[in-house]
Amino acid sequence: MWSNTRTTTVAIARPRRTSPRWSAARHRCTRWAHWRPRRRNTVEPTDELDGRYALEEKLVACHDAEVWRGYDRHTGRRVAVKIATLEHAALTERWREAAILRRLQVPGIVQLLDEGIAQGRSYLVTPWVEGVDFPGHQDADETSAADGLVAVINQVAETLVQIHAAGIVHGDLKPANVLVDRDHRATVLDFGLSNWTADTDELARVGRLHGTAAYMSPAQLRGAKPTVACDCYAFGVMCYEALSGAKPHPTASLPELMRARLRTPSPALECRHPAIPQAVLDAVRGLLSANSAERLQSLHALRRSPPACPSSAVRKLWSSLPFVTEARRDIEAQRRVRLGLRHGCRPGDCRRALAEAFASCGCQVVALGASKMPFGSMPAELQGALDPGATLDQARATYRAHLAELLANDGRVLVEPGVDAWTGRLVDEFDRHCGVVRIQLDADEASVEARPPRPEQLVDLFDGPERLHRVRSRAAQILWEQTGGHIDAMVRQFARWQRRGLVFWRHDKCEVSPASLDHMREPLAPAPLPPLPPKSEVGEFGLELMRWLHLGAGRASDEQLASWLGAARWRVEAELETLLERGYVRVEPDGSRAPAYDPLGEMTVTSANLQHIHKTLAGAIEPGSPQRFWHLLCGDSVDAIAAEGPLVARHYDRRGDTLRAIAVLRQSLAMLQRARHVAPARRLLDEWATLALATGEPQKLEGWLRSADHWRADHLESSKVYELVYLARLGCRSPSPEVLDRIDQLEAFDDWQLELRRQMYRVRVASACSTARYEETLADIEPWVEQVDQREVHGTYAGWMGMLHFREGRYEQAARCHRRAAATKSRPTARLASMIAEATARLEQLDYERCLELASEHLELARRVNHVHYQARLEYLQRASLYRLGRPLDVDEGWVDAVELLGLPKISGLVGLLEAAIAWRSGDLATAARFADLAHRRWADIKHRWGALLASALSWSSRRGATAEGAEILAQFAACPLERITCQGIALVAQHLDTLPAWAEQRVQHHLANTPENRDHLRLEILSPAELARMLDEHAR
């Protein structure tokens, strides 16, 4: 396991503070552990972080973190700044806390505003939240006090459920970490000890406690890892203390607390508020239960909204399928319904869908299932009501009378295939009644054909950003691939996803984040099949043959199948002929043979039998094939997986499918971890890091960091790879000179691909710092490039030179460099990056038609490989070209929200400014101001001063701001070296100012004089040169 410089947090009998607490993030300050201090950098109240956050007052200080009240000079608002006090310490905790806060973008949880490195130490910035410790201010009136207390408890319970649904364990719930304002609004803080539910193993250390002991569950006090149930217990202690005025156990010393809590985990609760509802008191007692399941039920009981049920949502979707509507229409028309099954539709699914639909209309429904016992197909409640001493004739008469009464009252009888003979003869007596709906396997003679839902129909189950990310459609496709759309299979899959924290049910929708999609896919598994018919006559040898075909032997010859099965060839041929004749096996269009029904659900199959099949099939496939990887994975071939995973990942990467490549490596590492094979893990992690770094997406980098945290061996924690990925993630979100210095200080990698990634992020962060730093970095990299004989390296360096030409305003040379880079690179995604850079150069060259052509040409490739980052850039280039050409466009708010989810400030700034300009031209000034403010914040995040200033000018112009503010914005443009940005800002501000400085008029006149006449009608970021001239003329008049 990895060593960890973080120390344990245990706070016992901490005095309760009654004065207001104003910070939005406070760390635990009482530490009982040994630690080795590293060099400290002193932070003083006069310090300023990154030239933006002025520190005013230190609120909390402990050995590894300080929390300061601060002021954001860019936005003018109060913030709380949490600064690591140990230089270069606790990388794992810093990135994890930031990633978790970004994941939890929901009300009731403190939001992350910014993160970065300053003076060698990492910091997080959150909003300034006013309030006091849970349960907040108490009203003098008893009834009002009780109502307020219940409202706060309900609200925190709701927030805690959402935290857990996102796959997060808080790990340190206590009153000081929940602030409540005077309106009884609660905000949960301090996620420094939080982790994903799947990753909490790494927090468990022998003899070490994590959290605040007074609020720890008995299991945590024994040294167990923190879980969702532990959070529930901590919340129960908080509620107990709020209701009774005392903690449930003595906290004078740790031994005394442990003895009391382990002996009596749930003491009696004596509430001091008589107006508190009994249901709340019972739920609080349940939170302190020794039973973990009861704690979870009690937490849900405290919620204001009832929990959603995946099962009901799935049944509701099935009940709305076309075959159900058609069956209801036939019954209303007094026509008999014979429902035939198509495309693997299962009788049980059809029966439940019809029952749901008929019950929703107020009809009584009886479903008759498959059975071989006399009247065993009858519902259990009818069988239970029958007198055990009744004769067969009496039973028949009772059931007949019940069915007759049901049909007479406009009820429905649903008959599945395989009903027992006695029930079948009874139903035949009512066969001509339109209320009897028969479900039959033969669809040829059916009046209605039943088909399972397709992926496009499953989309309605999901909620998430469809614009750009295509979350709903991709999640529906994954669900369909893994379940075939069958009811039970979908409910089980949703339950698995919920346990892993990948989805969250709200009302009747399954909420999915873009980051969860990568973890939801299980590549290469065969599509689900319907179960064998109840009266099938397939023998054991036929079932075994169908299993081999189902698991991938469909293209094998009869001779090869006979060898694998250890049977005579003639017997295999005869069995295949029989299975084909009876419809149990079908021939696919490509000539392969596949079973029509699921042969794995039979009782005779064992895991050892399936592993043997997988290992045999893997041996017949060439290394590096995805199909071979899947067989090795299912065959539990751990040693082979360690070698096969990188080969298959490279196979997908060569095709441009980086997401699948990363999924393969993630699955390989998961198998190695289950088998505790540590040695091959580093090679797989390095391979994964290379791919994640190439994407340039923070979410992919955070995914790698999460996996690397599982392998906390000392040699991995101190590795350069871990620090590079951490710094690359920070460079994507908050590039700064300090981040660049840290990357520069990393030693060069022996592996040229990892070294190329290090150099790539040096260039990326240097580009965000200054042109001088960028040129210096390129000059430093050039000798290494000359020594490496790799096309990818030389193509990438050509692209970097193109970026230098771009910064210098030589757009034609930049476009040529990027085209040459694309021709040199071998990886499809790397070529795509160069093509995007070429299109960007054409945009700045004012060659909008060519930019539009390039963006449209490459957008389909970006969509095909699901590279959302590149899709966003290409769609921006498309819309920017259309806008600048004067084509009509509508504001796309959904696109702005989708781009925000990427977490890439530069793209968010570009998109926000573009949509603000579109709204401004259409006269929607409120929307223009909102998006311009967003662009200003994102440009400010990456310290792009002039982009932020132009956005401020557009925002001020749209809002008709104060004259003094406009004059201040105008004065800042005097120092802007970018003439066209300056001129557009001047024109926007000049509309609403009485006078214009002489320097401003001169700058605009100079720009107009140097603009070719044939281009003065072309728009720039907001305005065209012709519009600049007209606006200044109007101002002069």
pLDDT tens digit string along 570-607?
999 999 999 888 888 888 777 888 888 778 765 556 77
Q: Is 923 helix (H, G, I), strand (E, B) or coil?
A: coil
What average pLDDT score do residues 850-868 get?
90
Using CA atoms, how far apart are residues 501 and 503, in angstroms rounded to an integer?
6
How distant is the alpha carbon of residue 923 from its chain centre? 36
Name the architecture of domain 540-634. Answer: Orthogonal Bundle (1.10)
Using CA atoms, how far apart are residues 453 and 456, in angstroms rounded to an integer?
8
Using CA atoms, how far apart are residues 652 and 691, in angstroms rounded to an integer?
11
Label residue 182 by pLDDT band (50, 70, 90): confident
CB 483 within 8 A of CB 318: no
Using CA atoms, how far apart are residues 914 and 951, in angstroms rounded to an integer?
10
- Whole-angstrom CA distances from 178 to 163, 165, 189, 286 are 14, 19, 6, 21
CB 78 within 8 A of CB 69: yes
CB 949 within 8 A of CB 934: no
Amino acid type, 112: L
Amino acid type, 931: F
Query: Residue 818 has which token pair?
Result: 């990027």
Query: Residue 439 has which token pair?
Result: 């479900």
Using CA atoms, how far apart are residues 302 and 155, in angstroms rounded to an integer?
9
Ramachandran bin of 82, using left for φ above 0, alpha for ψ from -120 to 50, beta for the remaining angles: beta
Alpha helices (H) along 549-637: 558-565, 569-582, 607-619, 626-634
- pLDDT score, position 63: 65
- pLDDT score, position 46: 58
Using CA atoms, how far apart are residues 352 and 457, in angstroms rounded to an integer?
18
Using CA atoms, how far apart are residues 672 and 713, in angstroms rounded to an integer?
14
Query: Residue 914 has which token pair?
Result: 């573009």
Query: Residue 777 has which token pair?
Result: 């970095």
Say if residue 826's pLDDT is above 90.
no
Using CA atoms, how far apart are residues 24 and 115, in angstroms rounded to an integer?
15
- Asked whether the CA dihedral 196, 197, 202, 207 is positive or negative, the reply is positive
What is the pairing mode between strands 65-72 and 436-440?
Answer: unpaired
Using CA atoms, how far apart are residues 743 and 365, in angstroms rounded to an integer?
68
Least-confidence region, from 1-15, 212-226, 593-607, 975-989: 1-15
Say if residue 2's pLDDT is above 60.
no
Closest listed residue to residue 53, CA positions, set 102, 114, 111, 100: 114
Label residue 472 by pLDDT band (50, 70, 90): very high
**What is the average pLDDT value for the chain, to the nearest integer?**
84
- Asked whether the CA dihedral 397, 399, 402, 405 is positive or negative, the reply is negative
Q: Which helix (H) or strand (E) holds 539?
A: none
What average pLDDT score do residues 600-623 get?
78
Using CA atoms, how far apart are residues 195 and 960, in angstroms rounded to an integer?
46
Using CA atoms, how far apart are residues 446 and 432, in angstroms rounded to an integer?
15
What average pLDDT score do residues 816-843 get?
93
DSSP state of 552: I
Higher local confidence (pLDDT), 548 or 553: 548
What is the pairing mode between strands 436-440 and 412-415?
Answer: parallel
SS3 sequence of 788-835: CCCHHHHHHHHHHHHHHHHHCCCHHHHHHHHHHHHHHCCCHHHHHHHH
Using CA atoms, how far apart are residues 174 and 189, in angstroms rounded to an integer?
10
Topology (CATH) of 322-450: Rossmann fold (3.40.50)
DSSP per-residue codes, 572-595: HHHHHHHHHHHTSEEE-TTS-EEE
Label residue 167 by pLDDT band (50, 70, 90): confident
Using CA atoms, how far apart are residues 457 and 66, in angstroms rounded to an integer?
51
Query: What does the chain come to in residues?
Result: 1037
Amino acid type, 439: I
Least-confidence region, from 15-19, 64-68, 269-273, 590-594: 15-19
- pLDDT score, position 91: 60
Say if residue 981's pLDDT is above 80.
yes
Nearest-5° Cα angle at 697, 694 to 698: 120
Higher local confidence (pLDDT), 678 or 816: 816
Label residue 529 by pLDDT band (50, 70, 90): confident
Label residue 39 by pLDDT band (50, 70, 90): very low
Using CA atoms, how far apart are residues 175 and 631, in angstroms rounded to an integer?
51
Using CA atoms, how far apart are residues 841 and 850, in angstroms rounded to an integer?
10
- pLDDT score, position 840: 96
Say if residue 554's pLDDT is above 80.
no
- pLDDT score, position 21: 36
What residues contact 50, with CB distance under 8 A and at least 6 apart? 116, 118, 734, 736, 943
pTM above 0.75, yes or no: yes
- Top CATH class of 134-301 equals mainly alpha
Domain ranges for the chain, please list them. Answer: 134-301, 322-450, 455-520, 540-634, 638-788, 790-861, 888-1036
Q: Is the peptide bond before 135 cis (omega within 30 degrees of 0)?
A: yes
Q: What CA dihedral angle connects 600, 602, 608 and 614, to 10 degrees?
A: -20
Nearest-5° Cα angle at 919, 914 to 921: 95
Using CA atoms, how far apart are residues 359 and 355, in angstroms rounded to an integer?
6
- pLDDT score, position 206: 37
CB 354 within 8 A of CB 437: yes
Closest listed residue to residue 726, CA positions, set 92, 78, 75: 92
Q: Which tens digit of pLDDT belongs to each residue from 438-461?
A: 988 776 777 888 888 999 999 999
What average pLDDT score do residues 529-545 get?
77
